[in-house]
Amino acid sequence: MKVKDAMSHEVVVVTGDTKLNEIARLMLDRHVGSVVVVDEEQRPIGIITESDFLFKEKGVPFSAYKIPTLFSRYLSQEQLESVYSEGRQIPASEVMTRPVRTITEETDLWKAASMMHQAKIKRLPVTRDGRLVGIVARRDLLKSMAEAGKQG
């Protein structure tokens, strides 16, 4: 089986200028765990996942959200809201994981699973001629492999 047999064709995409508050809303509204950041030609340039909103050393979560909480006793409510407001306006380009690992739709599912396992990632954007055509998640691989097991 190939990645094209398991991937989802519906990918939520944003540009590098898209703000974090909009990305969070898109992810919640569309019930997805990631968005792919693309350039003008629909080539993946980064990815933002749910974990990028958690406390990591990347800056956004810690500096924009954790520090205000830690220093809330020293800041007025107005100052605190100002810090949070600034954090929500951070663009995707400052938070995204890059370079983004991608895979082609013709890649074998077992290779995709191996890549995800080795890189400790949950999803891979799928490309054709360098342009985004889908996304494959660990859940997609598991489902496809389970279905193949029923047939064989």
Domain regions of the chain by residue span = 3-151
- 3-151 maps to which CATH number? 3.10.580.10
Q: What sign does the dihedral 133-135-141-144 (CA atoms) show?
A: negative
Which tens digit of pLDDT belongs to each residue from 29-54?
999 999 999 999 999 999 999 888 76
Answer for the pair 97, 49: CB distance below 8 angstroms, yes or no: yes
Instruction: Determine how β-strand 13-14 pairs with β-strand 34-38.
Output: parallel
Kindly report the backbone phi and psi dihedral angles of residue 59, in degrees, each rounded to the nearest multiple of 5, phi listed first: 105, -55
pLDDT-based confidence at residue 85 (cuts at 50, 70, 90): low
Answer for the pair 94, 60: CB distance below 8 angstroms, yes or no: yes
Residue 84 is inside which H or E element, if any? helix 77-88
* pLDDT beyond 60 at 91: yes
pLDDT-based confidence at residue 141 (cuts at 50, 70, 90): confident
pLDDT at site 4: 95
Looking up tokens 């995709």 gives: 112
